[in-house]
């Protein structure tokens, strides 16, 4: 079966159109961090859409699949770093797994292209049907098999002029606008309906200019001193028993010289021990922070002995409120967060009875976690509310929206990107975090084991960062904001409203267009 798939793929790639589709998808990686050539995410789809003209349903799906294969092959190539270095598989097998993963993800653009041809009268690809069906396919990509909404087109615009739309329509809406702009450029290159498409470009430009003048949230006048600890512990050493105490003491040593900060953040699973077995260490950190009028938030693994379940968690040590006289931590304190969106293979193994015996990849340390609740209370530190997200949860804006409250002061995301080495994965991860800051109008604190540790303000601009692969502590004074962006209040409905409205408009215009009326008119007597 796999050989037949490989032969068919090889034959398809001999076709010039197929090659151009693949190269178009491949080059999209340049639109994202660390390259950040945002305009390519509009120009490249416009060029690719020229190849789609006149394609029937089958060929539309095929071109969508090949485009998606190139898009994800380059865009998430960083995943192979973890499979290759920590999966314990031969190179050929790890590359095959990457091919299968990228092929799976490519099914979603293939679906959107198929539907964009299927629902036309001539069963030929219609570019104006692509934006709504693309959003539908992207929604499915974000929920199927726990979801992997990475590399969505809108993330590329965090530093571009379209970022003005983000507080109103979010990354989802930006993706829709980008596709409309790509279609407008396509039609202008064909010299079709020039005035109409120039008007569209002008309307987007004017709306963007107006939105750039708008302020959605306002300063509270308060600020908080933050310290983010990046210990730069090698992934291959992290879970070795002999490195447990040296790792914990390293975090404690880096923290002691930064106790003048109000809140000190350690990254995901910074304490490489089960919470119940690390009580002595946690008590030292808890009382040390309290005595110095500070608070520590750290990642740690908890184990529920009664339910026999592991949780990837965040806990708060030291002062919960500024007037506390002692540390607020105790085991199973409610001031904690359990990760909800778990990473397949890394944090849970589907069909584990069959997969675990096959290779070390399916037996990575701590790969049997249970989910926390979708909605959980914000963490409280120094009387401030921090909305927590662990690792790739930052890519799920609707989860963030569900946990945003009137009291939320900051968004906190912790991660351990040491799995992905010196690849573009951590840069894309930071790009996603910046988009969440702009969407929700709150500063984002991003603490990682080996980078990229950074702080972004409420506009998504990075105010401070430290280099990757260095042992360092990032210090900054974060200004707090109040109020809500439009997206934070109703953005969750965009994934339904935008496709529905655009489809209604498309089919409404098709039904009442002059060409359609001429075909339906009775013959002259």
Q: For residue 366, give both structure tokens.
A: 């701590």
Find out whether 71 and 108 touch, Cβ atoms under 8 Å.
no
Q: How many CB atoms lie within 10 A of CB 55?
A: 20
234 classed as catalytic: no
Contacts of 40 by beta carbon, 8 Å cutoff, 6+ apart = 27, 28, 30, 31, 156
180, 319, 339, 431: the active-site residue: 339
318-to-143, 169, 255, 381 alpha-carbon distances in Å: 37, 39, 12, 8
Q: In a 3-state reduction of DSSP, which class is residue 303?
A: strand
268, 275, 347, 393: the active-site residue: 268
Place of tokens 């109008």: 441
391, 393, 431, 439: the active-site residue: 391
391 classed as catalytic: yes
Give CA–CA dist 251/285, Å, rounded. 10
User: In terms of DSSP H, where are the helices of 213-243?
Assistant: 235-238
Contacts of 377 by beta carbon, 8 Å cutoff, 6+ apart = 334
Give CA–CA dist 482/406, Å, rounded. 8
268 classed as catalytic: yes
Find out whether 394 and 171 touch, Cβ atoms under 8 Å.
no
Q: For residue 144, give both structure tokens.
A: 């199927």
502-to-109, 117, 153 alpha-carbon distances in Å: 18, 16, 19
Parallel/antiparallel/unpaired status of strands 271-274 and 263-265: unpaired
Give CA–CA dist 416/195, Å, rounded. 50
State the catalytic residues: 268, 339, 391
């Amino acid at each position: 079966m796999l050989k037949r798939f490989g032969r068919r793929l090889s034959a398809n790639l001999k076709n010039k159109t197929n090659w151009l589709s693949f190269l178009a998808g491949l080059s999209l990686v340049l639109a994202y961090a660390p390259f950040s050539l945002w305009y390519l995410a509009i120009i490249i789809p416009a060029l690719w859409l020229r190849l789609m003209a006149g394609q029937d349903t089958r060929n539309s799906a095929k071109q969508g699949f090949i485009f998606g294969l190139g898009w994800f092959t380059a865009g998430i190539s960083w995943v192979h770093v973890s499979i290759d270095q920590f999966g314990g598989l031969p190179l050929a097998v790890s590359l095959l797994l990457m091919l299968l993963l990228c092929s799976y993800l490519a099914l979603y653009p293939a679906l959107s292209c198929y539907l964009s041809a299927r629902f036309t009268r001539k069963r030929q690809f219609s570019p104006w049907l692509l934006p709504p069906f693309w959003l539908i396919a992207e929604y499915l990509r974000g929920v199927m098999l726990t979801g992997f909404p990475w590399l969505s087109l809108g993330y590329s615009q965090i530093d571009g002029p379209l970022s003005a739309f983000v507080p109103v329509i979010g990354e989802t809406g930006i993706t829709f606008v980008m596709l409309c702009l790509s279609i407008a450029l396509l039609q202008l290159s064909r010299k079709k309906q020039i005035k109409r498409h120039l008007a569209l470009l002008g309307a987007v430009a004017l709306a963007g200019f107006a939105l750039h003048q708008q302020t959605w949230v306002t300063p509270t006048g308060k600020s908080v001193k933050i310290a983010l600890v990046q210990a730069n512990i090698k992934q291959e050493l992290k879970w070795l028993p002999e490195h447990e105490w040296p790792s914990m003491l390293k975090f404690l040593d880096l923290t002691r010289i930064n106790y003048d900060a109000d809140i000190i953040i350690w990254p995901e699973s910074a304490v490489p021990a089960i919470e119940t077995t690390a009580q002595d260490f946690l008590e030292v950190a808890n009382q040390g922070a309290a005595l110095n009028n500070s608070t520590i938030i750290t990642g740690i693994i908890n184990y529920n002995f009664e339910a026999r379940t592991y949780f990837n968690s965040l806990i708060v040590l030291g002062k919960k409120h500024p007037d506390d006289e002692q540390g607020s931590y105790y085991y199973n304190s409610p001031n904690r967060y359990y990760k909800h969106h778990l990473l397949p293979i890394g944090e849970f193994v589907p069909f584990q009875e069959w997969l675990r015996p096959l290779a070390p990849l399916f037996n990575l340390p701590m790969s049997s976690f249970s989910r926390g609740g979708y909605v959980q209370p914000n963490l409280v530190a120094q009387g401030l509310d921090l909305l927590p997200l662990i690792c790739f949860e930052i890519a799920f804006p609707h989860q963030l929206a569900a946990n945003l409250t009137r009291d939320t002061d900051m968004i906190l995301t912790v991660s351990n990107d040491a799995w992905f080495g010196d690849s573009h994965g951590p840069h894309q991860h930071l790009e996603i975090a910046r988009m969440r800051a702009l969407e929700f109008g709150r500063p984002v604190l991003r603490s990682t084991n080996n980078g990229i540790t950074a702080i972004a303000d409420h506009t998504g601009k990075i105010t401070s960062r430290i280099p990757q692969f260095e042992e360092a502590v990032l210090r900054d004074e974060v200004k707090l904001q109040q109020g809500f962006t439009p997206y934070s209040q109703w953005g969750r409905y965009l994934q339904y409203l935008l496709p529905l409205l655009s489809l209604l408009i498309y089919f409404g215009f098709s039904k009442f267009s002059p060409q359609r009326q001429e075909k339906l008119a009775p013959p002259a007597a």
